[in-house]
């Protein structure tokens, strides 16, 4: 057991055993580190289950979207677990710093950086063997100059804009850019890729748009190959395309949200056996009686309609429990679901237990969202907040320790 960068790392089958051990140590008069009131419990076994499901479905190499610290789950632990399982072939990040931290933690599989880098950081791409996406001739030339000055080689992935109008070269410019890279003495043509804008929707117009994007991308790849330019890896399928467009698997797929246990949209629910990897957990820190007519929390937006009990839970929007859950969210305590009442505060919020407190006691575990019966998952919670599960997972604050189980 150790603590590193806000993460509590353990291989226990039951994280609660770890906390009981901590309490025993504190009672015995010696100190390890504080028991967190709120933490994110990360189930590595569930992650590997999802990874295996993607591998079985696609039969292709997998580059997991490990950006944003694996969507808030912890990139060091999950990427290592995936690589050691033999199921994971590469990891994709948004920022070169994320890739460097992975390398420094001992991760040796290919790392791709999806977002553009600043020129002063180009030497780091070479030093840490991180493969950038490129989509602009000037950018490629600056990168080439840096690599040449170091006397090294660097693998790059040509990104084509198939319709999102974000990163990527225009389709009509793809062949010339591919030719330039092919003629470079120090850049290696590792891959050609794109990213679809609406593959996560099965609406008729979205299917038509995605089909158009696929055809456009395939034409670009075909033109590049017909020009005699070798392409090692063609890849474009993120979670939506993996579940809806098997023709886009090509040489490698790039799953993101499905590896963390959620489909990219409700439309894709049930297409793959997915298990949520994270439980966002806190604890009851106070139980108190509230009389009929009394109001709760900032703004007095909730009033007790009868005598009742409330539980104060030790988490808030500073931990990543969205303020939009005020008067709308539900949490699970002891297997039972209870409504959130009043405004979510920075560090705590309240739930209505009912007239007899339902046996809830101080110290009881409270699942804010995650897996389990009667529990809101991140998809449910995101719908309450009018956003997507990705955002809720990524927004869990760094002050919240990650506790790893079943590793």
Which residue of the set 55, 60, 61, 67 is catalytic? 67
DSSP state at residue 228: T
Q: 228, 182 in Cβ contact below 8 A?
A: no
**Is 330 among the catalytic positions?**
no
Which residue of the set 3, 295, 298, 398 is catalytic? 298
Measured distance CA(348)–CA(321) in Å, rounded: 9
- Which of 64, 73, 68 lies closest to 110, judged by CA? 64
Taken in order 23, 25, 27, 31, is the CA torsion positive or negative? Answer: negative
Q: 31, 222 in Cβ contact below 8 A?
A: no
Q: Would you give the distance in Å from CA 276 to the centre of its chain?
A: 11
Which residues fall within 8 angstroms of residue 325, CB to CB, at 6 or more apart?
A: 340, 344, 349, 381, 384, 385
Does residue 94 sit in helix, strand or coil?
A: coil
- Which of 126, 70, 71, 134 lies closest to 102, judged by CA? 70
Q: 347, 319 in Cβ contact below 8 A?
A: yes
**Is 298 among the catalytic positions?**
yes
- Which of 109, 40, 111, 47 lies closest to 78, judged by CA? 47
Measured distance CA(81)–CA(79) in Å, rounded: 5
Category of 40 on φ-ψ map: left (φ > 0), alpha (ψ -120 to 50) or beta: beta
Residues serving a catalytic function are 67, 298
């Amino acid at each position: 057991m150790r603590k590193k960068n806000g993460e509590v790392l353990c291989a226990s089958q039951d994280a609660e055993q770890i906390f009981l051990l901590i309490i025993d140590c504190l009672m015995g008069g010696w100190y390890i580190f504080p028991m967190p009131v709120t933490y994110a419990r990360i189930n590595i076994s569930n992650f590997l289950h999802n990874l295996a499901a993607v591998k079985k479905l696609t039969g292709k190499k997998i580059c997991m979207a490990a950006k944003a610290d694996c969507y808030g789950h912890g990139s060091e632990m999950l990427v290592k677990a995936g690589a050691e399982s033999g199921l994971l072939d590469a990891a994709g990040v948004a920022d070169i710093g994320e890739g460097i931290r992975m390398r420094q933690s001992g991760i040796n599989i290919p790392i791709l950086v999806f977002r553009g880098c600043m020129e002063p950081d180009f030497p780091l791409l070479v030093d840490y063997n991180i493969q950038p996406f490129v989509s602009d001739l000037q950018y490629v030339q600056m990168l080439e100059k840096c690599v040449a000055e170091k006397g090294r080689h660097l693998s790059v992935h040509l990104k084509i804009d198939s319709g999102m109008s974000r990163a990527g070269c225009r389709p009509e410019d793809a062949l010339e850019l591919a030719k330039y890279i092919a003629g470079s003495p120090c850049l290696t043509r590792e891959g050609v890729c794109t990213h679809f804008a609406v593959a996560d929707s099965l609406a008729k117009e979205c299917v038509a748009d995605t089909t158009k994007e696929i055809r456009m991308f395939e034409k670009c790849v075909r033109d590049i190959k017909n020009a005699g330019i070798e392409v090692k890896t063609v890849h474009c399928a993120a979670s939506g395309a993996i579940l809806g467009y098997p023709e886009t698997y090509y040489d490698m797929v790039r799953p993101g949200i499905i590896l963390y246990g959620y489909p990219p949209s409700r439309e894709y629910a049930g297409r793959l056996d997915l298990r949520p990897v994270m439980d966002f957990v806190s604890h009851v820190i106070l139980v108190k009686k509230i009389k009929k007519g009394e109001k709760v929390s900032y703004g007095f937006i909730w009033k007790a309609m009868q005598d009742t009990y409330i539980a104060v839970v030790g988490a808030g929007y500073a931990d990543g429990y969205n303020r939009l859950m005020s008067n709308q969210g539900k949490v699970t305590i002891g297997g039972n679901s209870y409504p959130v009442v009043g405004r979510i505060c920075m560090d705590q919020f309240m739930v209505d237990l009912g007239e007899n407190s339902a046996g809830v006691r101080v110290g009881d575990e409270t699942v804010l969202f995650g897996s389990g019966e009667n529990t809101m998952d991140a998809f449910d919670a995101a719908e309450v907040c009018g956003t997507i599960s990705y955002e809720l997972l990524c927004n869990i604050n760094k002050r919240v320790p990650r506790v790893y189980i079943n590793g």
